[in-house]
Chains A and B, each alone.
Chain A
Amino acid sequence: MTTTALAPAQRPGGTGTATPARRPFALLRHSLALAGRSLTKTMRTPEQLLDVTLQPVIFVVIFVYLLGGAIAGSQHEYLQFLLPAIMVQTAMFASTAIGVNLNTDIKKGVFDRFRSLPIARSAPLIGAVVGDVIRFVVSMVVLLGLGFALGFRFGTSPLLGLSACLLVLVFSFCLSWASVLIGMLVREPGAVQGISFVLMFPLTFGTNMMVQTSTLPGWLQAWVKLNPVTDVMAASRALMLGGPTAAPVLHTLAWSLGMLAVFAPLAVRAYRRRT
């Protein structure tokens, strides 16, 4: 059998210009183009950001005003203690949305289009995760804005305070890949939501976010010490309020890279297999 291909040159303005040598940059370019798509979609339907806008407000108000007096004796002191940790929790809950969104998105024809284009299989996923960074940024801006209005102040410096935000952003970005994996493995968006929440509750509440670890029963203390989110919250507190930063920050970065290294390839593999 003989088959002939029309050479790219024969096609007017053909697209066969990208050579394999440009691949690494191609993945970056394609992912950024798709992240831009994600961002445009979010900007066009800002109600998607309602959860990350309202959730920090509700949690701060409930915890500080309802429980703060009883727990810490002073609402201001409790706000200082709580806010750096609530930031971690809010970002983690925000990271669950991407699994749900991708699970819905992938059923639409547009993903077939992406699959039939000469781009890396991972590009649509990377693009979606990068585009979702806006959700974390919005939730942090709302949380810090509210915190400052209620009297929260950095105990260190604005620069270190912002680096706490950056660290939480990195952690959430890496955690997003676990959400993407769930979104690829589970059939229905509702189930993705359910599974993500069941996982997020012990991870976020099973920490010293609300009270000192020493006040907890022994078995819970054991979990809190084991839970990597405790490290992230400790790092956030250390950078915003003061105290030793090196160990919790390094732990947080190690966990982040670990999650990225495990969940991102698994998510891409699950995406490839899903038809």
Chain B
Amino acid sequence: MTFAFQAEGLVKRFGATTALAGVDLAARPGTVLGVLGPNGAGKTTAVRILATLLRPDAGRAVVGGLDVVRDADAVRRRIGLTGQYASIDEDLTGAENLVLIGRLLDLRTADARARAAELLARFDLAEAAGRPARTYSGGMRRRLDLAASLVGRPDVIYLDEPTTGLDPAKRDDVWSMVRGLVGDGSTVLLTTQYLEEADALADEITVIDHGRVIAHDTPDDLKRIVGGQTVVVRPADPARLAEAGAILAEVSGHQAESPSRGVLTVPVPGDKAFTEVVRRLDAAGVAVVELSLRLPSLDEVFFTLTGHGTGKSSEEARA
């Protein structure tokens, strides 16, 4: 099997905390690997090791056949990194940011300028090119950050939660950019807290929790395992919550969960179950203010895979 990057048995400890307890990750060239997990699962640590920013305590990782520790410099020529927090210089203009990186990548000044102009145009930043990055909006910063990671035309691109904190329209922009990168032949590692995002972009998904891989599959198979879709019901009359819950349990064969007050969710195997829920609620005369079918949230994925939620987010949801 040929991989654009591959990590085997990565272990990383910070003092008494074990961030990674033996993680395997791999992606074939030209594909997107989605790494799905809650905050603190070890996603960023794994990306930082693959990006040569951290050394693993055990295990090894290779990018394009080159070891991230032994051949760190050669690996750095092949990778692009876009972190959770925009890695751009606020005081420099968009163009200056990209030209600086081009020059650090040993492009001649004229070539660095040309490459910067090309990327600024591609990411719709040509008009803002001469403004300091501090004046950019959140979406513009992400785009500049992504452009900065592409200056060296990397084979492998790491995107660490690239859509966290973006509104849905900006998120769609990032999604189409990611598809564009893959279209150019790059391999992408994308970390995310949203199954929806991994489903939309990834060819394969690795789910990690507490520094361990708890699932690795294609999005379709993963959805099959975690119950495909989720029905969300919010009865108009909170007093009829139990009644609605009984109907959901009967149709799905699972106990319905209540992630927040007055709302019930239950995983269902397919669309037909949804129709059945609608019919039965109608027959029972339970009026609803919200009734929808969606992909499972990360918490629900975790509940199915591990028998417990993500911990933090489920507590937040109940609070």
Contacts and interface: CB of A to CB of B under 8 A. Distances in A.
Contacts of B29: 4, 6
A5 to B, nearest CB: 3
Nearest to B51: A116
A89 to B, nearest CB: 29
B76 interface: yes
Given A2-B2, A33-B103, A118-B73, A110 B64 contact: no
Contact of B53 (A29, A44, A115): A115
B76 A117 contact: yes
Q: Which of A8, A44, A110 has the most CB of B within 10 A?
A: A110
Contacts of B90: 108
Nearest to B187: A6
A214 interface: no
Nearest to B141: A109
B290 interface: no
Interface string B61-88: 0101110000001101111010101111
B153 A30 contact: no
B186 to A, nearest CB: 10
Given A11-B155, A26-B106, A118-B73, A4 B81 contact: no
A6 to B, nearest CB: 5
Nearest to A112: B87
Contact of B101 (A41, A108, A115, A117): A117
Interface string B1-36: 111001000000000000000000000010000000
Interface in A110-139: 110, 112-119, 123
B78 A5 contact: yes
Contact of A18 (B52, B106, B149, B151): B106
A16 interface: yes
Interface string B234-245: 000000000000
Task: Report, as a range, how many residues of chain A touch the other chain.
Answer: 35 or more
A12 interface: yes
A6 B155 contact: yes
Interface string B84-122: 011111111000100011011111000100010000000
B54 interface: yes
A44 B87 contact: no
Contacts of A26: 106
A215 interface: no
B85 A109 contact: yes
Nearest to A111: B87
B152 interface: yes
Contact of A110 (B66, B76, B88, B107): B88
A1 B155 CA distance: 19
A24 interface: no
B101 A113 contact: yes
Contacts of A13: 111, 115, 153
A275 B65 contact: no
A3 B149 CA distance: 23
Contact of B86 (A30, A34, A37, A109): A109
- For the complex of A and B, 9 pairs with smallest distance between CB atoms: A5-B64, A109-B87, A3-B65, A113-B87, A18-B106, A118-B76, A15-B152, A41-B91, A33-B103
Given A113-B81, A117-B101, A118-B105, 9 more contacts: A1-B1, A3-B6, A3-B65, A14-B152, A26-B106, A40-B96, A44-B132, A110-B89, A113-B87
Interface of A: 1-6, 8, 11-18, 22, 26, 29-30, 33-34, 36-37, 40-41, 44-45, 108-110, 112-119, 123, 275
19 contacts: A3-B6, A3-B64, A4-B2, A8-B77, A14-B153, A15-B107, A33-B100, A33-B103, A37-B89, A37-B96, A40-B96, A45-B91, A109-B88, A112-B83, A113-B87, A115-B52, A116-B79, A116-B81, A118-B74
